[in-house]
Structure 1
Amino acid sequence: MTDFVNENLSLNSDLELPLVQSVAEPLVAILLCTYNGERFLADQLDSLEAQTHQNWVLMVSDDGSKDSTLDILLKYQSKWPQGKMIIRNGPQKGFCQNFLSLACDSEIKADYYAFCDQDDVWLPEKLAVAVQTITSNQNIYVPFIYCGRTTYVTEQLKPCGISPLFVFPPSFRNALVQSIAGGNTMVFNLAAKLLIEKAGPLNVPSHDWWVYQLISGAEGDVFYDPVPYLLYRQHDGALVGGNNSFSAKMERVKMLWQGRFQDWNTQNIVALKEVKHLLVKNYQEILKIFETLRSARLMDRFRLIEVCGLYRQTRRGTFSLFLAILLKKI
């Protein structure tokens, strides 16, 4: 496993994560990435401690924090049982690579895995609901991801909205042009973890969008929960925020016009082509058509999007998709 920040950050650097065979509840490895998160980290750690599903271990990858983040982590590590929290150095290549460094680590062993942001608050039932949903619906040999909505809150945790309710089925055709849920809601099974490991830490814009593309492209199962179990802080320091406000919508229009989505799609396509052997044959063909339509003549672009069957989850999203095609910004 990657070196720890220093010898004192882990109570036992040779510690092997406990396995779940001898206990009633499945083991969940919570994958937390931190970077200068001192303002809200304690709230998140308290919410993890309050989970009704208690069989979990916290794997923390700190990306070079300069504030008191590590001090806060050490404080909680010292009061929790031995092995409950393990802290290590992140790759310092941004939040996406930090999360992928954890998700792709074959030495992190558990039954289920959950991405965790440093400034959210989990409702007590979050892990329990996700684990129950997966265990009730999964084929253990098929990648399965649970994700869902979030409640937007202010820095003081006052509700200020809710993420969009998506009703169309999750699929690779949707994943190519839209990320439907934040990584902070994602819990996945061992089969999904092994698939992510096989793909490796590729250069992609966002770990959650990438995981949605990869799992759906391999014909894994994606479950979208319409009930939120997470308080998602909206503040200037957030790397990624909600998209319900007028200013957020205008910012996305600006990003579309500037070609940001086009750049992200290019990154995703390059990554998907690198691991196309992990995708089912039909979706390999869809990916090829999607790449072709991006540079095709206008008349051909609209025909090819119909052949691909691409779709987004809302009318506004579908309009944005066609606008991007019209402007050749996809």
Structure 2
Amino acid sequence: MKVEILMATYNGEKYLREQIDSILKQTFKDWKLIMRDDGSKDKTIEILNEYEKKDKRIKVLQDNKGNLGVAKNFEELLKNSSGEYVMFSDQDDYWMENKIEKYIKVLEKLDKENLKNPLLIHSNSYVCDKNLNILKKEFINSKIAKENNGNSYFFCYIVQGATLLVNRRVVELALPFLKSVKLHDRYFHLLSEFFGKRIFIDESLTKYRQHGGNEIGAKGSIVNKILKKRYFDKNDRELIIEISKKYDKILKKSNLKDIEKYIEVTDRSKNRIKRFLLSKYFEMKLIKRLFLLIKG
């Protein structure tokens, strides 16, 4: 069972070696690492080329497409992937040595039906400082990630991109990326909930490094933004609407009904009291319902 790992890089020279080394140290050896740089100005490219020469499992994707941004960089990597199972790696984290092995064990327990349908597996992460000292033992609230409560995923951001594994069916559904995709992890999360299965490994298998150069950090994550500001994210709403339009022929009636209700609840031009009452249709934490009343 071979796994392809996709790594998008940009000005990552400071921590890149540690992350690639952590992949090289994996107890599961049957993997391929594909990396694409997004126009770095530092020595990132030199480091990538060095590792490509060092290990035949490592490939650096070369093109003239320039700086695409994080989501489009991963989309380009996906276009150049062919594996049945794909994992995603940030350039500045550190993988526990048994990370891939843990995912493979989950895959081995699944039946053929689950394996052929859209499948997403994710895990938790340690939140660490720049030197990989652990600050928090969990990045994702494991209780919420495990619960799988009905339509709660509309307002729960529980899938971290650096912990993702998806099968080829999810990749086929996702490509080409929709225009409103800002974060590939949320996109894949929604696709798995609508069309397939999401499995959470209740264990921290990645050291999620926090430093000044993070593209998305624990302190500035979409999770905290939503909890501190509003009960939903504007970009997320646009993505869900776009998904409903693109996949309307294959979405279940129950999914379409959920999306319709979600669009109503998050329509800030409508009466907030009515939307507050309608929000009871969703599995949503009370604090988010209160934000609906307070901020609309």
Report the TM-score range of the alignment, normalised by the length of the smaller protein. 0.7 to 0.9
Paired residues for 1:14-93 under 5 Å:
26-81=1-56, 84-89=58-63, 92-93=67-68
* CA RMSD after TM alignment: 2.5
Q: Using a 3 Å threshold, how does the CA distance of structure 1 residues 320 and 209 change in structure 2: closer, same or farther?
A: farther
CA contact (8 A) 1:36 1:65 kept: yes
Q: Distance in 1 between matches of 2:42 and 2:181?
A: 28
1:288 maps onto 2:266 in alignment: no
Partner secondary structure for residue 226 of structure 1: strand
TM-superposed CA distance for 1:254, in Å, is 8.9
Relative to structure 1, is the Cα distance of residues 150 and 240 closer, same or farther in structure 2, using a 3 angstrom cutoff? same
Structure 1: any 5+ residue segments left out of the alignment?
Answer: 1-25, 312-317
Matched, 1:298 2:272: yes
Determine if contact 2:157/2:222 at 8 Å carries over to the other structure: no
CA distance in 1, matches of 2:149, 2:170: 15
Q: Distance in 1 between matches of 2:222 and 2:71?
A: 23
Q: Relative to 1, partners in 2 of residues 1:101 and 1:91: Cα closer, same or farther, differing over 3 Å?
A: farther
The structure-2 alpha-carbon separation of the partners of 1:99 and 1:249, relative to structure 1 and needing over 3 Å to count, comes to closer
Letter in 1 for 2:151: R
Secondary structure of the equivalent of 1:66?
Answer: coil
Describe the shift of the 1:222–1:68 C-alpha distance in structure 2 as closer, same or farther (beyond 3 A): same
1:191 to 152, 158, 169: 169
In the alignment, what sits opposite 2:153?
Answer: 175
- Residue equivalent to 1:234: 210
Q: Is the 8 A contact 1:293 1:305 kept in 2?
A: yes
Partner Cα distance (1:173, 1:205) in 2: 22
Aligned residues: 287
Does the alignment pair 1:322 with 2:289?
Answer: yes
Q: CA, structure 1 residues 269+249, in 2 after alignment: closer, same or farther (shift >3 Å)?
A: closer
CA distance in 2, matches of 1:210, 1:84: 26
1:209 maps to which of 177, 183, 186: 186
Cα–Cα, structure 1 residues 288 and 123, in superposed 2: closer, same or farther, change >3 Å? same
Letter in 1 for 2:104: V
Q: Select the residue among 61, 81, 102 that pairs with 1:129.
A: 102
Distance 1:264 1:201 in 2: 12
Deviations 1:141-170 (A, max 9, x none): 211111111011111111111224332433
Determine what percentage of the aligned residue pairs are the same residue. Answer: 24
Secondary structure at the counterpart of residue 43 of structure 1: helix
Q: Distance in 1 between matches of 2:120 and 2:224?
A: 29
Moved over 4 A (4+): 247-251
**Structure 2 residue matching 1:132: 3-state secondary structure:** helix
Kept in 2: contact 1:44–1:120 (CA 8 A): yes
2: CA distance, partners of 1:116 / 1:33: 7
SS in 2 for 1:229: strand
Q: Do 2:90 and 2:162's aligned partners in 1 also have CA atoms closer than 8 Å?
A: yes
1:251 Cα deviation after fit: 6.5
Contact 1:117 1:184 in 2 (8 A): yes
Unaligned 5+ runs, structure 2? none
CA deviation digits over 1:54-92, x for unaligned, max 9? 1111111211111100000001111112x5323234662
Segment of structure 1 superposing worse, 261-270 or 108-117: 261-270
Secondary structure of residue in 2 paired with 1:282: helix
After superposition, the C-alpha distances for 1:238-276 in whole angstroms (9 at most, x for unaligned) are 111225xxx98996379626x9x5422332233223323
TM-score by length of 2: 0.87
Answer whether contact 2:180 2:235 (CA < 8 A) is retained.
Answer: no
Change (3 A) 1:96 1:327: farther
Name the amino acid aligned to 2:87. A
AA partner of residue 222 (structure 1): R
